[in-house]
Chain A
Amino acid sequence: DAGITQSPRHKVTETGTPVTLRCHQTENHRYMYWYRQDPGHGLRLIHYSYGVKDTDKGEVSDGYSVSRSKTEDFLLTLESATSSQTSVYFCAIRTGGYEQYFGPGTRLTVT
């Protein structure tokens, strides 16, 4: 599993509240990714990071921000959660051999 953990694993929050999801890795991989998975849409890239303080947008980045102040942690923040952001969020790392490994996911419900 490449030592990837996500917290929290489940969260229920109200519309308009800020939410931060955390991804932690133990193997010092440079690249980290945040995806969301929804029925009918598959996995879609939100943001990714290619080093400390180096991030870039994916295809569904609106409403999300990220931060990476340490190699091992990649945070995803929903500034003001909306019901359309109800989803399962996955973090992943990419190895030097370009192989991706995924965390267990966070199920977020916005009511």
Chain B
Amino acid sequence: KQEVTQIPAALSVPEGENLVLNCSFTDSAIYNLQWFRQDPGKGLTSLLLIQSSQREQTSGRLNASLDKSSGRSTLYIAASQPGDSATYLCAVNRDDKIIFGKGTRLHILP
């Protein structure tokens, strides 16, 4: 059974710092991995999708990497801003279902 883990559950970082969020999964046979952002009381916003054949994807200040063999993905956020404060979730896709981690709650300190 696929399990997705995100550690730490919460993280506080001073504004301007670069940071890395971690995601690990137990079954490397995945189609892709997707990173989402969720603001309090809101739905999920897709940030980046990495196909299983890819090693990384970039969007603005965000860079996501994927290492299937080790069952790990990282989301790198450069030059963090208070507006980056949110919960970040990763999800792995295999077959018709997607399995989510429980997220990392990120707080950027002004």
By a beta-carbon cutoff of 8 Å, the part of chain A in contact with chain B is 31, 33, 40-43, 45, 48, 50, 56, 58, 90, 92, 94, 97-105
Contact = CB atoms under 8 A, between A and B. Distances in A.
Nearest to B44: A102
B96 A48 contact: yes
Given A100-B91, A102-B43, A105-B43, A48 B49 contact: no
Interface of B: 31-32, 34, 36, 42-46, 49, 51, 89, 91, 93, 96-98, 100-103
Main secondary structure of the interface of A (DSSP, over half): strand
B43 A100 contact: no
A103 B44 CA distance: 8
Contacts of A56: 96
B34 A105 contact: no
Contacts of B101: 42
Contacts of A102: 36, 43-46
Given A48-B97, A102-B45, A105-B42, 4 more contacts: A45-B97, A58-B97, A98-B49, A98-B93
Contacts of A33: 98
B49 A99 contact: yes
Contacts of B102: 40-42
B49 A42 contact: no
B46 A43 contact: no
